[in-house]
Structure 1
Amino acid sequence: MQPLSRLASALVISAAALLSLAAHAEEVHYNQISLRAEVNQEIAHDLMHVTLYSEAQGSDPAALAAQISKTLNASIAQARKAKGVSVAMGSRNSYPVYDDKGQQITAWRERAELRLESADFSALSTLTGEMLQDLKMGGMNFSIASATRKTHEDALLKEAVAAFKARAQLATEALGGSGYKLVNLNLSSGGFQSPMPMRMNAMKGAAMMEAAVTPEIEAGTSQVTINADGVIEVQMP
């Protein structure tokens, strides 16, 4: 009978433990509040991106492709000589040109892009002006370098936590609490890119080259944001 007695005792203890766990699971947490704090900063763009392209049309697609490749190779060699400027191939497309009835192919058109990037706006502006002798401007835009964004986000993260703590304390005092416990806290980054205007002294392409004018660049800024979302449990006296 002794083994059965031990088994019965074990079953009683196990049942008590299960009831305790169930009660704990069903425990209701009162005075929990969801809070959000946000901090942001305008950061100047420190990277300049330029897209140039070569486009031509001809009856022989092979000869057309060779022509485009020759122009691009020369342009790439020219860009690589510029200090602090990175160069990469962009998209390249070739498509047929049809007659007015849309039935017969009359020619082929090919377009290929070249993408330039630099933190030296002056150097890239000058190079762009020189390359517009053989290529056309596809677009120009600006961004924040990854290292720059990370540095600012790290600083803003501390500010976001401090702002959340201040808001948590304010909420606790408003409820008449004696303090609060942090239940959870999530930190996330975001932001939006503001318009990036570009002024070129009212000149484009070859006209800019002939006058030997370096474009006046307005890189603009982007807003970087850190959000702190969390839940606190207010402790009442």
Structure 2
Amino acid sequence: MLKRLFVSLFLLVSGFAYAELPSGLVSISTSASTAVAPDEYVASVSVQHIDRVAAVAADEVNRAMQNAQALAAQRQIELYSGGYNTYFDRKNNRFVMSATATLVADDSARLAELIAELQSSMNYNGTAGRLKPDTRAASENDLIAEAIAKFHDRARLVANSLGGNSYRIYDLDVQTQGEPPYRPMAMMRSSVQAESVAAPSIELDDEQVSVSVRGRIVVEGL
């Protein structure tokens, strides 16, 4: 009995939901995008040392990381440790110690100079560009206005093409892509450890920022 009552109520509610949809309902979607030059740069560096004595391998890696932290601070560049890893190479009877670090700067030239200094004791793994949150938000706000303007243009076109005299927005959904995950670009892995290394050339593509608008309109006067 309860099951039959539930089914009856479901059909009744569903019927009302469909009945409430207005006539002349049309779905429309638009989008807007732009290329924005990155204003923040993220580089990856790493260091590895191999020795028969674990403490010696660890000490060399720690020295390289401490030196990187000091040089980054001098250039007002943020450094984030990516963690340490140690394992014993049984084949060669050696301890292998490694560590990674991430450098974040808002000036590519200053970052390149730091990388050149660090390459005397560390490996350079690559650099990626990204947008600061405020920069991305400002670009998205401009694109939202553009995409909604396109939505209205298309809505007028649809209404006129269908023979209507006006339209009203029934519902509207605005979507932004958000910040993409970090992905190293301009990969230039180098294990050169010399007294002097030329600064790498950091030339990154602009980042695509996009906004999509989806909604439904009711064409009136049909």
- On whether the aligned pair clears a TM of 0.5, the verdict is yes
Q: Any idea what SS the aligned residue of 1:182 has?
A: strand
Residues 172 and 216 in structure 2, CA contact (< 8 A), matched pair in contact too: yes
Structure 2 residue runs without a partner (length 5+):
1-12
TM-superposed CA distance for 1:205, in Å, is: 4.0
Task: Supply the distance in 2 between the matched residues of 1:52 and 1:22 (Cα, whole angstroms).
Answer: 59
Summarize deviations over 1:143-180 as a string: whole Å, max 9, x none: 12221111111111111111111111111111111111
Residues 159 and 165 in structure 2, CA contact (< 8 A), matched pair in contact too: yes
Task: Supply the distance in 2 between the matched residues of 1:78 and 1:207 (Cα, whole angstroms).
Answer: 17
| Structure-2-length-normalised TM-score | 0.82
TM-superposed CA distance for 1:114, in Å, is: 1.6
TM-superposed CA distance for 1:96, in Å, is: 2.2
TM-superposed CA distance for 1:181, in Å, is: 1.6
Task: Supply the distance in 2 between the matched residues of 1:73 and 1:22 (Cα, whole angstroms).
Answer: 66
Query: Which of 64, 73, 94 is equivalent to 2:86?
Result: 94
Q: 1:208 to 1:150 in 2, by over 3 A?
A: farther
Which residue identity is paired with 1:37? T
User: Paired residue for 1:149?
Assistant: 136
User: Paired residue for 2:211?
Assistant: 226
Q: 1:196 to 1:42 in 2, by over 3 A?
A: farther
Q: Any idea what SS the aligned residue of 2:210 has?
A: strand
Q: 1:218 to 1:198 in 2, by over 3 A?
A: farther
User: Paired residue for 1:10?
Assistant: none
User: Paired residue for 2:7?
Assistant: none
* Count of residues in Structure 1 that have an aligned counterpart in Structure 2: 207
Q: Which aligned pairs between 1:27-42 and structure 2 lie closer than 5 A?
A: 27-42=20-35
Q: Any idea what SS the aligned residue of 1:216 has?
A: coil
Task: Supply the distance in 2 between the matched residues of 1:208 and 1:146 (Cα, whole angstroms).
Answer: 38
Q: Any idea what SS the aligned residue of 2:86 has?
A: strand
Task: Supply the distance in 1 between the matched residues of 2:215 and 2:89 (Cα, whole angstroms).
Answer: 59
Higher CA-based Rg: 1
Task: Supply the distance in 2 between the matched residues of 1:172 and 1:42 (Cα, whole angstroms).
Answer: 32
TM-superposed CA distance for 1:28, in Å, is: 4.3
Q: Which aligned pairs between 1:72-91 and structure 2 lie closer than 5 A?
A: 72-83=65-76, 85-91=77-83
RMSD of equivalent CA atoms: 3.0
Q: 1:208 to 1:185 in 2, by over 3 A?
A: farther
User: Paired residue for 2:201?
Assistant: 216
Summarize deviations over 1:185-232 as a string: whole Å, max 9, x none: 010112879995479xxx98457935xx44333121111101000011
Percent of aligned positions that are identical: 23
Task: Supply the distance in 1 between the matched residues of 2:194 and 2:149 (Cα, whole angstroms).
Answer: 54
Structure 1 residue runs without a partner (length 5+):
1-20, 100-104
User: Paired residue for 2:55?
Assistant: 62
The reply to whether residue 158 of structure 1 matches residue 154 of structure 2 is no
Task: Supply the distance in 2 between the matched residues of 1:159 and 1:96 (Cα, whole angstroms).
Answer: 58
Task: Supply the distance in 1 between the matched residues of 2:173 and 2:116 (Cα, whole angstroms).
Answer: 47
